[in-house]
Structure 1
Amino acid sequence: MEAQRLAHEADRLEALKQYQILDTPPEQTYDDFTLLASYICEVPIALISLVDSERQWFKSKVGLEVNETPRDVAFCNTTILSPEILIVSDALLDQRFATNPLVTDEPRIRFYAGAPLVTPEGHILGSLCVIDRKPRELSEVQKTALIALARQVVIQLEWRRVSAHLAEALDQIKLMEGLIPICSYCKGIRDDQGYWSTVEKFIKQHSDVEFTHGICDVCLQKHFPNVAERCCSKTD
């Protein structure tokens, strides 16, 4: 069970890495989501929190100055365990969080609601969460709106990931369209740093292609005439 959990966490962290979002500058699109979440849920703090291996990092924040906190004290570390919204009406009355330093000290969290950021593959990257310094509840309308906003955050992240992959693919196409120095004898290819490598290695570096090896009819006749003769006799 522990091995399965660790494997799942490794896959989740790899998925997070693919979005290339950690430690990027603030962006208005994400700030709009936290602003709306704060307004709709009538709370002073709203965050887009992404849970890395040792920390939770805030892509966007309203009402909070810090950019990250240790993962082991993060409420969002609990949120990522389930695709369902996590609501803590009063953290002091919840044994999971009552002694948490984020509760007993600044920002003195009492209320927390986190809608998980679930990728199309089912990985939970973090949450869109709202926080208050006093106990409270969310109405059904507020809950539904928070979940809907979290889905929109994921759509924005997906757009970012696809755009990055498309840009990489276009760069590869431009590279393949250009003049590629190739040895007239061994057919090795010279890279931009002046190093020579095989055709297979060059193509693997610039695409997801995998190779299988065989021998064409011409090379079979040239290098293995005895084998070629036997093959021909079998087909006759």
Structure 2
Amino acid sequence: MDGSSDKNLIILEQLPCCQFDIFLVVYTSKCHSLTFTNNKIANLLCFSSKYLCVAARNLAIHHIFTRHWSYSDITLAAIAVQCGVWTWFKHAFTCLVEVRLSQFTPAKRQSLGHPIFIAVATLHEIIYKHRRIVACKPPELEEHTLDCSNHNRCTSDWAQVWWSGMSQFILDGHNPLLYKEASQRFQKFNFGWMADGCKKKMFEVIRSNKAFGITDKLVEETAVHLEKELIFEPCLSSADNESLGMDE
């Protein structure tokens, strides 16, 4: 009978030793006194998810979540799908959309998986097209404020400064800025003959993020869709919530 003696070992096929080793360390030590590397915790999550070890899986998820800043977004997205973890996927995917496609090497694309990379690439194309539209069409100054003495000049200067500032920021070929950062820099520009009231009014329009709110919503909806399509949590029984040698 497998496991009955040293001569009748339980064979765990396709299990890397590194995953089993960290699992044994966790089970035989005081967890709070251990120092885990990111790779070891990722291995623990893979093992505990595959063999349905509730406490070990919860420990790994908690550790990764509290230190998510130390993991690459590609790693977070990949292990979320591989191990069936919803916790940080949406955050990781949103960050991936902001990464240039040229930075996704073949190895990174393989790690990420075809569906996620295609989704990121598609969103890149949509967002870039939207950027061009926003850059070429400044928010319309529909009604001037009472302190504006020259409406035509004010409207003309607003359009000119938008093209010289905001458009250049969000379409920069070397370092395009996100809308929030671009708008913050843009508000420090000299707006020529624009009245202070008109400037304040248009700054409020910019801060409302109506221009890029549409794409932000699209990214979030795509992340939610991918979660439903790709992430399947393992069926874990609460009765299997074994102790990991942690102090009460």
Same fold (TM over 0.5): no
- TM, length-normalised to structure 1: 0.30
Structure with the bigger percentage of strand? 1
Higher RCO (CA 8 Å, separation ≥ 6 residues)? 2
